[in-house]
Amino acid sequence: RRPAPDPGPREPVSTLVARPGIAEIDPYVGGESAIRGRDRVVKLASNEGALGPSPKAVAAYIEAGKSMHRYPDGGCVALRSALAERHGLNRDRIVCGAGSDELLSLLCRAYAGPGDEVLYSEHGFLIFPIAARAAGATPVTAPEAKRTVDVDAVLACVSEKTRVVFIANPNNPTGTYLGAADMRRLKDGLSDSVLLVVDAAYAEYVERDDYEPGIELVDSAASVVMTRTFSKIHALGGLRLGWCYGPPAVIDVLNRLRLPFNVSGAAQAAGLAALGDVAFTEESRRHNATWRAWLTERLRALGLSIGDSVCNFVIVQFPATPGRDAEAADAFLKERGLIARRLAGYGLPGCLRITIGREGEMRAVVDALGEFVG
């Protein structure tokens, strides 16, 4: 007979108490990347760039590895200079972060705390409530109309406690956007003591004349910040790199609050190379536009309801009928090695979000959903 396993030392009971709000955080759950029992999967759950990173970014990353014993440039000067030049901005009004997530979270910590409210829209990005609660503030959601940010509804939810308003434009997971005039109206309806954060993670994919990523809005006010990321069009999600453009006072606050070496040298080097590879970025944008249109049309032809997305994903609404619903569709896709994103956490349990991938991946999705519906 085997001896009973040693139970080990008993864990001491903790009497430590975290700050208010932290226990209420629903930790972010990313898109799945594996299916049990399958070694090859198609991951379309996290809006990662379909074509992968630019080969120039990969080369720069490998080169940067040779000096990984050195601390990075804490000021990200080369990268900020390149971003400033590309977008016609003052580099002193740019801050880089370990993903734009870091910047969204720092902005909350800087401007909202216990007793304050952080406002965003109903199907807004899930990092917003996490950042709000982490700062001890209360997240508040404004209802949307047709799965689009409703300016009047947002303004109606502003109270004297509102300190930060987050608008992802365009928004994930709805794929919808607000035009420049609507964003201006939203800004004009807010007091200058409320920080408006425009999260433009998908800006590079938008091909609409009335869209403005937020730069003009930042330039017109002292209380607007725009955040951007290298995770989507530049496909560097694994390196964690984002940036923001804002008024000098906000930039000063972020530079005090952020950690001194918040962006790794490898991320800075790869980001600089990715930004410089204009032809690759253009190819990624064209690929996305082509296959987003194709996927939308094919899925509509199957009778599925698809929103008009301006991003690198589409959102598919399934009927509520058991066996035909989003849960069944997700299971059906998984059996074929295809991973989409369930959206129950975003208040959209009847929908799946599907990232635009390579041609073969898109054809596989359409074939599988055709079989599912058929």
- Min separation Cβ 103 and ligand PLP, Å: 8
Which of 213/237 has CB closer to ligand PLP? 237
251 CB neighbour count, 10 Å cutoff: 18
Closer CB to ligand PLP, 128 or 318, in the complex: 128
To ligand PLP, the closest distance from the beta carbon of 120 in angstroms equals 10
Q: Please tell me the distance from the alpha carbon of residue 282 to that of residue 16, in angstroms, as a whole number.
A: 51
**Nearest distance, CB of residue 323 and ligand PLP, angstroms:** 31
d(CA 196, CA 189): 11
Reference 361, options 40, 30, 113, 31; nearest CA is 40
Nearer to ligand PLP by Cβ, of 150 and 199: the residue is 199
Query: Is 197 or 253 the residue whose CB approaches ligand PLP more closely?
Result: 197
CA distance 296 to 310: 11
Q: How many CB atoms lie within 10 A of CB 320?
A: 10
Residue 365 CB, shortest distance to ligand PLP, in Å, is 20
Strand-pair category, 351-355 with 341-342: antiparallel
Closest by CA to 42, choosing from 370, 342, 334, 373, is 334
First and final C-alpha spacing in the chain: 57
Residue whose CB is less far from ligand PLP, 201 or 224? 201
Q: Which C-beta is closer to ligand PLP: that of 215 or that of 364? A: 215
| Cα(49)–Cα(231) distance, integer angstroms | 8
H helices of 189-277, in order, are 215-219, 248-257, 265-276
Smallest distance, ligand PLP to C-beta of residue 364, A: 23
CB nearer to ligand PLP: give 120 or 291. Answer: 120
Cα(107)–Cα(351) distance, integer angstroms: 31
Q: Which is nearer to ligand PLP, 201 or 340 (CB)?
A: 201
- Largest Cα span, the chain: 78
Nearest Cα neighbor of 118 from 155, 160, 162, 169 is 162
**Smallest gap from residue 17 Cβ to ligand PLP (A):** 29
Give residues in contact with ligand PLP (CB under 6 A). Answer: 47, 99-101, 125, 168, 172, 199, 201, 229, 231-232, 237, 242
* Shortest Å distance, C-beta 102 to ligand PLP: 7
CB of 202 to ligand PLP, least distance (A): 7
Q: What is the DSSP letter of 114?
A: T
Q: Is 163 helix (H, G, I), strand (E, B) or coil?
A: strand
